[in-house]
Amino acid sequence: MSQQGPVTAIELEVFRHLFAALAEEMGAALKRAAFSPNIKERRDYSCALFDSKGLAVSLGDHMPVHLGAMPMSVEAALDELGTLGPGDVACVNDPFRGGTHLPDITLISPVHWTNGELLGYVASRAHHSDVGGSTPGSMPLAREVFEEGLRIPPVLLYTGGRRNDDLWRTLLANVRTPVERAGDLDAQMAALNTGAKRLLEITQKRGVEQTVSAMDGLITYADRLVKAGLELIPDGRYQAEDIIEDDGFGSGPIKICVELFVQGATLTVNFGGTSSQVPGGVNAVAAITSSATRYVVRCVVSALLEEALPAGGGSMSTVKLILPEASVVNASPPAAVAAGNVETSQRITDVLLQALGTALPELIPAMSQGTMNNTTVGGRDPRTGKLFAYYETVGGGMGAGPSGGGLSGVHVHMSNSLNTPIEALEHAYPFRVTSYGIRRGSGGVGLHQGGDGLRRDLMILSPARVTLLCERRKLGPHGAHGGLEGTPGENVLIRDGVEQTLPAKTTFTVRSGDVVSIRSPGGGGWGPLPD
């Protein structure tokens, strides 16, 4: 073991990369071991390292919407369960206790040194393709969270290394695809084991005092960078608003308002004026709004300083959130929240960037597609006779920026996942992909062109239930500095060769041979076209 002592700046940078590699390796272990294409192929998961107090030290380069909220899940677990002992694993998905929506299940375990000293915690979060609820895929049009699936408060899945089999059986009895769920939960456990092993190896080589000191040092360093970056934003008040088009039950447009007050190194983010929570599931819980805010602050600060923050992002202690109670950015139970995580999170990001665009006009890009184009399909696979549940988000156009055009057909902002390969889809499910390509010309025109959306046509080879949760179907993503908006998205059912336009948010039954066509929005353009 190395000599003890304070961590120097050079050593801190070494630890920064060691901890980042730890989180990334956790993600790689999860991906390799996962059963579902949603995790194995789309990489809809996140992994992180926390210190002994539950503060984020290093977050893998995974899903921003997960990573900003995971600290709140860890905090909720420690508040309700107390300090976790050796071999304990906490499990939680409750959106009102640090979760995002019910399919995102988080596992948390402590890492202890040989003398019993608590070094920190490792956590893995993964989107499970079904956790029960009223429709396959657990992303239904629902009026209450109880319709969306199994809700898990912070509980111990493992105690002292022994699995709670009663809880395990209860979890698997409430889902449509228990074998796949068990495999994905075991893959999350593999990620925790990988993280714990790597942290112990780091501690063995560097020493307990230096390792723990480096955790504290990285959080403090990130906080200094956040303060330095915020000081580069001109003092003042900056406002923006945008809408969620509808909630699937007739509510809409649903307004999201933000006012930013910048004063030196402090940033107050006030969502006053935002619509009250609505019947449909576009309500976002506080963890989602906090996550989107952390993401935007991290992006802007890193761009202003031309230096990436440590992977934990710091405590963000100088960023204050003001969230109206029982609103679509701070929903109260029993609000339905499935789409708040995936759709409203994108719009919160949009309004924050729009407000900052007033202060930093030469830095902030045009709006990206602003939706995840959520698609869930479930039924009985005629090849096996077993139930299946498929979930996917579909990429679209990235907004153009001052330095160039936007990318096409990619996941943006709060989603950092991939498009599922055709081969994986057709192997795992009774599907045939009949069309898959770029929607040429759907990006907004400007000095720099917005990225184009995608078109993916999915022929479903058995009767099934389909749910779509999408946005930007009426108005395209805004351009910036004279750039034009991107083309809105479109949902289409093709039956016997006849196209029928579908609502943005809908649940319906398909026959064998029907085609569900998702046509995602293009990104906004940046800057006027030259004369």
pLDDT tens, 215-270? 999 999 999 999 999 999 999 999 999 999 999 999 989 999 999 999 999 999 99
Give start and end residues of each alpha helix (H) in 413-476: 422-428
Cα–Cα distance for residue pair 210/286, rounded to 1 Å? 35
pLDDT score recorded for residue 4: 53
Q: Give the pLDDT of residue 1.
A: 40
Main-chain dihedrals φ then ψ at residue 295, nearest 5 degrees: -60, -50
- Run of H or E including 303: helix 286-305
pLDDT, greater one: 4 or 365:
365
The three-state secondary structure class of 519 is strand
Confidence of residue 416 (pLDDT cuts 50, 70, 90): confident
Q: What is the structure's pLDDT at 221? A: 95
Lowest mean pLDDT among 69-73, 134-138, 522-526: 69-73
Report pLDDT for 5: 58
The CA distance from 139 to 143, in Å, is: 12
Split at pLDDT 50, 70, 90, the class of 143 is very high
pLDDT at 489 over 80: yes
For the chain, how are helix, strand and coil distributed in percent, rounded to 5? 30, 25, 45
> What is the percent of the chain with per-residue pLDDT over 90, rounded to a whole number?
92
Looking at residues 197-226, what average pLDDT do you find? 96
Q: What is the mean pLDDT of residues 106-133?
A: 96
Q: What is the mean pLDDT of residues 16-27?
A: 96
Q: How far is the C-alpha of 528 from the C-alpha of 517, rounded, in Å?
A: 32
Using alpha carbons only, give the angle 377, 382, 384 rounded to the nearest 5 degrees: 100
What does DSSP assign to residue 414? T
Provide the sign of the torsion angle of the four alpha carbons 31, 33, 37, 38, taken in this order. negative
**DSSP reduced 3-state for 77:** helix
Residue 33: CA atoms inside 13 Å, Cβ hemisphere, count? 22
With CA atoms as reference, report the closest residue to 486 among 443, 517, 435: 443
Indicate whether 67 pLDDT > 80: no
Mean pLDDT of the chain, nearest integer? 95
Is the predicted pLDDT of residue 63 greater than 80, yes or no? no
Tokens representing 294 are 């952390």
Euclidean distance between CA atoms 505 and 344, whole angstroms: 13
Banded pLDDT at 3 (limits 50, 70, 90): very low
Quick one: pLDDT at residue 259? 98
pLDDT in tens, 419-457: 889 999 999 999 999 999 999 999 999 999 999 999 999
Q: Burial code of 276-304, b = ≥16 C-beta within 10 A, e = fewer? A: ebbbbbbbbbbbbbbbbbbbbbbbbbbeb
Phi, psi of 284 (to 5 degrees): -105, 135
Q: DSSP character for 121?
A: E
Phi/psi of residue 503, nearest 5 degrees: -65, 165
* CB 37 within 8 Å of CB 424: yes
pLDDT tens digits, one per residue of 30-57:
999 999 999 999 889 999 999 999 999 9
Query: CA separation (Å) from 221 to 52, 290, 313?
Result: 18, 21, 9
pLDDT digits (tens, 9 = 90+) for 150-180: 999 999 999 999 999 999 999 999 999 999 9
- Average pLDDT estimate for 307-322: 91
Q: Examine the pLDDT at 531 and tell me if it is beyond 80.
A: no
pLDDT the model gives residue 401: 96
Residue 2 has pLDDT above 60, yes or no: no
CA distance 348 to 241: 9
